[in-house]
Amino acid sequence: MADLRTAAERAITLRSEIARHDYAYYVLDAPTIPDAEYDRLFRELRDIETQHPQLLTPDSPTQRVGGAPLTEFGQVQHRIPMLSLNNAFTEDEVLAFDRRCREGLNLGDSEIEYAVEPKYDGLAITLIYENGMFVQGATRGDGNTGEDVTLNLRTVRNIPLHLDGSVSVYPARLEVRGEVLMFRKDFEKLNQQQRDAGLKVFVNPRNAAAGSLRQLDPKITAQRPLRFFAYGVAELGGALPESHAALMEQLAAWNLPVAKERAVVRGRGGLLDYYARIGTARDTLPYDIDGVVYKLNRYADQEQLGFVSRAPRFAIAHKFPAQEALTTVEAIDVQVGRTGALTPVARLAPVFVGGVTVTNATLHNEDEVLRKDVRVGDTVIVRRAGDVIPEVVAVVLEKRAIMAPQFVMPKTCPECGSAVEKPEDEAITRCTGGLYCPAQRKQALLHFASRRALDIEGLGDKLVEQLVDQAIVKTPADLYSLDPGNLLKLERMAEKSATNILAAIDKSKQTTLARFIYALGIRNAGEATAKELARHFGGLDALMQADEAALQQVPDIGPVVAASIVSFFAEPHNRVVIAQLRAAGVYWTEGEAARVVSSAILGKTFVLTGTLPSLTREEAQERIEALGGKVKSSVSAKTDYVVAGAEAGSKLDKALQLGITILDETQLLELLHT
């Protein structure tokens, strides 16, 4: 008996502690313990309830995982109807609402106090608590009758299964009204999971929330990242507080989540200022809203105004401009981005969405076009959210013309005519003419001139932009034909600056094979890969002639990287630019890597940490790699040497723990010369 009493007391403590951590994590967004510690507490509670089933309670956190699937939802008759709000779309309609409120309260020109809050774009629900315990939840339905989704709502982590607070006595019955929704980041993550699993993706967070809450299997709902926010009550056993604002404070004290953005304002000026403020912050909110709600703050005022038809006189929703609209697809063009990505773009009949006129919408990639089956002539739903690029959400299939042709991605680049490629495991189609393609010029030039590539000091964004926009430079080879006359006509370019740029370009002609390979900007071939290629082949011609099988003989190069390299050198435009670079005087010593037959560090792995007395990290790395060594960024059991300079940090500590040989700069240089 004592054991049972001890277990019961521990279960009560664990439930309270877990509920507190749930509130901190899901409501306050301020976790108080690590996930591993939370999991430990949860497992302990579950073990107690398994060993002592009589201790299991309906409000236990372990009951959030969902029960057995239902065949259908039961019906719930709302004791107090869930009414809709009237809408205002213009400033004049808001002013008229304020005037009606003042007239109804006989206040003349006096300013009224309003409670204001965001209007969630979610699914309206009601929660019923009896003596502080959650007992039933339902959807709005037709306002009078909704669906019983209690089991599913139990899985929503920020809905308290038992009210919290400083008092031990709760209302005999409390009916809370609010909305279930899904945060944007959670929606994107869910859709990615759906895509990865080959399942249907959701159109928007509201549809995802509604579809998740209305699952007949609560275990599916439990896996969906739903949230709840309260915006009022239908019943409260006992007297209501004096105002709506005070009620929201009470709900928050009971650990029911409420909007942080709620406020109390005065008069029509306060209403319009709040609308403008929330409209500006709209895109920074974690969830979607479609407007704001204005309510008379004092319940005595609400009661005096009452209701009209199916809506209250004392409240109104001030809606934002529509962010979804219908229009037609006039054409589907393909744009080429700075990295060579081909993106289908729908050219639309102009439509006003989210406060602006939209004429273009992204279709993302070929797979998305085919999945949504967007065709020229289609009627489509277009969405725009803030500064986000408008996108086509879905096609209205019943309005499609007969025999409308399906979209086909072009086989060559629309900008330069180079071949395009789309690896089997990628969604993006790309142009292979990296050094030649006009759309990729700026990116290709900046990469070519970067410090770890040809290292052309002074050739930055603004200068490259001018050189490309004025058609002075079309490929990296054109850099070596520049003269003072070309540069001095550019904006903010003085004679000394032009001289320095030309000197840096001339200096870059002498490089290494590894740097040159990296400078070409071959997709999937980074700096480390370029060094391995230079070491393995010893010369550019041998690399350009290698097939995929030969490339996969190089350490750390697999099928994807090998295919990218072959595609790059197979494109005639790229070969032409390489020939032009060589003709312009860009050179390196070939075969030096191949001559590294043996050295004291051949095949050894180094990690550099801290500041060395005379060598920079880049210089030390180049010397190590020139003799066949490898430089990694982190210490592991496979590390042979850690080279430590001044202010070496955690890497040195880990090396000492693992017993790895530590070298200073002098010892490194001695090793390099053996």
- Based on the domain organization, do 276 and 142 belong to the same domain? yes
The answer to whether the CB of 234 falls within 8 A of the CB of 177 is yes
Once rounded to an integer, what is the mean pLDDT over residues 517-530? 90
Residue 70 DSSP code: P
Residue 12 DSSP code: H
The answer to whether the CB of 49 falls within 8 A of the CB of 56 is yes
pLDDT, position 535: 85
- Based on the domain organization, do 188 and 262 belong to the same domain? yes
Q: Which of 583, 613, 631 is the last residue of a domain?
A: 583
Note the pLDDT tens digit of each residue in 547-576: 999 999 988 898 889 988 999 999 998 999
Among candidate residues 131, 139, 319, 124, the one with its CA nearest the CA of residue 231: 124
Q: pLDDT at residue 382 above 70?
A: yes
What is d(CA 593, CA 532) in angstroms, rounded to the nearest whole number? 10
Q: pLDDT at residue 499 above 60?
A: yes
pLDDT, position 592: 47
Once rounded to an integer, what is the mean pLDDT over residues 469-475? 91
- Among the residue ranges 51-55, 160-164, 213-217, 419-423, the one predicted with the least confidence is 51-55
What is d(CA 497, CA 561) in angstroms, rounded to the nearest whole number? 39
Among candidate residues 475, 411, 465, the one with its CA nearest the CA of residue 438: 475
pLDDT, position 475: 92
> Is 342 within the bounds of a domain?
yes
| Domain hosting residue 308, numbered range | 87-319
- Based on the domain organization, do 186 and 259 belong to the same domain? yes
User: Up-side HSE of residue 26: CA atoms within 13 Å toward CB?
Assistant: 22
- The terminus-to-terminus CA distance of the chain in angstroms comes to 77
Amino acid of residue 383: R
- Based on the domain organization, do 229 and 129 belong to the same domain? yes
- Based on the domain organization, do 309 and 171 belong to the same domain? yes
Mean pLDDT of the chain: 87
- Based on the domain organization, do 573 and 448 belong to the same domain? yes
Of the two residues 448 and 20, the one the predictor is more confident about is 448
Of the two residues 338 and 49, the one the predictor is more confident about is 49
Q: What's the token pair of residue 510?
A: 């002498």
pLDDT, position 414: 93
> Is 222 within the bounds of a domain?
yes
- Based on the domain organization, do 247 and 131 belong to the same domain? yes
The CATH number of residue 145's host domain is 3.30.470.30
The residues, any chain, with a CB within 8 Å of residue 31's CB and separated by 6 or more, are: 21, 24, 25
* Sign of the alpha-carbon dihedral angle for 593, 597, 603, 605: negative
Q: Among 39-43, 73-77, 374-378, which range has the highest average pLDDT?
A: 374-378
- Based on the domain organization, do 98 and 237 belong to the same domain? yes
pLDDT, position 595: 46
> Is 404 within the bounds of a domain?
no
What is d(CA 627, CA 596) in angstroms, rounded to the nearest whole number? 6
- Based on the domain organization, do 339 and 309 belong to the same domain? no
> Is 413 within the bounds of a domain?
no
Q: pLDDT at residue 384 above 80?
A: no
pLDDT, position 92: 93
What is d(CA 431, CA 568) in angstroms, rounded to the nearest whole number? 10
> Is 72 within the bounds of a domain?
no
The CATH number of residue 48's host domain is 1.10.287.610
Among candidate residues 663, 535, 554, 528, the one with its CA nearest the CA of residue 609: 663
- Based on the domain organization, do 240 and 362 belong to the same domain? no
pLDDT band at 165 (very low <50, low <70, confident <90, very high): low
Q: pLDDT at residue 398 above 90?
A: no
The CATH number of residue 330's host domain is 2.40.50.140
What is d(CA 380, CA 334) in angstroms, rounded to the nearest whole number? 18
Of the two residues 314 and 393, the one the predictor is more confident about is 314
Q: What's the token pair of residue 578?
A: 């390489």
Residue 89 DSSP code: -
Number of domains in the chain: 5
Angle between helices 205-213 and 184-196 (to 10 degrees): 70
pLDDT, position 388: 63
> Is 633 within the bounds of a domain?
yes
Q: pLDDT at residue 347 above 70?
A: yes
**Percentage with pLDDT > 90 across the chain:** 45
- Based on the domain organization, do 393 and 480 belong to the same domain? no
pLDDT, position 594: 43
Of the two residues 594 and 203, the one the predictor is more confident about is 203
Q: Which of 374, 399, 424 is the last residue of a domain?
A: 399
Catalytic positions are 119
pLDDT, position 26: 60
- Based on the domain organization, do 252 and 265 belong to the same domain? yes
Q: pLDDT at residue 533 above 70?
A: yes
Once rounded to an integer, what is the mean pLDDT over residues 374-381? 92
> Is 432 within the bounds of a domain?
no
Q: Which of 277, 295, 319 is the last residue of a domain?
A: 319
Q: pLDDT at residue 370 above 70?
A: yes
The residues, any chain, with a CB within 8 Å of residue 511's CB and separated by 6 or more, are: 454, 519, 586, 587, 588
- The pairing of strands 307-308 and 133-139 is unpaired
Q: pLDDT at residue 449 above 90?
A: yes
Contacts 24+ apart (CB under 8 A), 448-453: 448/476, 448/479, 448/519, 448/520, 448/521, 449/479, 449/508, 450/519, 452/515, 452/518, 452/527, 452/618, 453/515, 453/518, 453/519
Note the pLDDT tens digit of each residue in 74-110: 889 999 888 888 888 889 999 999 999 999 999 988 9
Q: pLDDT at residue 6 above 60?
A: yes
> Is 184 within the bounds of a domain?
yes
Note the pLDDT tens digit of each residue in 630-660: 888 889 989 999 999 988 888 898 899 899 9
Note the pLDDT tens digit of each residue in 569-595: 999 989 999 999 999 999 998 864 444
Q: What's the token pair of residue 92?
A: 């004049």
Of the two residues 42 and 320, the one the predictor is more confident about is 320
Q: What's the token pair of residue 387?
A: 């500064």
The CATH number of residue 652's host domain is 3.40.50.10190
Residue 26 DSSP code: I
